[in-house]
Amino acid sequence: MSFEVIVFDCDGTLVDSGAMIVAAMAGAFDASGLPAPEAAAVRQVIGLSLEEAVRGLAPQLAVETRRAVVRRYRTAFGGLRADARYDEPLFPGMAALLEGLDGAGRRLAIATGKSRRGVDHVLAVHGLAQRFVSIQSADGNPSKPHPEMLRRAVAEAGGAPERACMIGDTVFDMEMATLAGVAAIGVGWGHHPPDRLVAAGARAVAEDAGALEGLLLP
């Protein structure tokens, strides 16, 4: 496979933020007087925009209650950044992979359900902001699997859908890619298992960063 534009998801693909997301969601529900969702359930909605994730976890909530949970999640997540027990490390090999793709002339972008503030923080911590020519977040786009954020990422990177691919760890990423007419490639270290990624449209699922490099730089 050879692509001019390579778009990455963030949580579960570039960075391992699952523990922070689960803890922040538990804190948000608890602060709202609601039972905390199971960790496994939270991990299944990672990748959606925050409001859609809360809706998926508790569809019975009234709109105002759901919005209150969203606000409390943001507060809780921000607080966890100061807690030494939590961080958002890059998955093994991802820094080197991004460097190699950049050096090979590929144009890199991000399409994520994370807030722009959260993405900027992660990229700054890991010194990666200069790698990406477009960053599309949940702040200004419909939630995955709607294709708009991916279409914008590819367009801002100066590419065409048929020469682009989406790298992600969830079915939301794979479905978004299919809707946008972009090739979908899954990663096996995130939140949804490989068989679900393939069923959702992944052309291949990489088991580690080395395997992903082999798919992207043939």
Q: Which of 11, 16, 169, 173 is catalytic?
A: 11
DSSP, res 130: G
Asked if 9 is an active-site residue, the reply is yes
Considering the candidates 9, 16, 169, 173, report the single residue annotated as catalytic: 9
CA torsion through residues 10, 16, 17, 22, sign? positive
Do 93 and 209 form a contact (C-beta atoms < 8 A)? yes
Using N-to-C axis directions, what is the helix angle for 50-57 and 63-80, rounded to 10°?
120
By C-alpha distance, which of 69, 80, 75 is closest to 33? 69
| Residue matched to tokens 């590419």 | 159
For the annotated catalytic residues, the residue numbers are: 9, 11
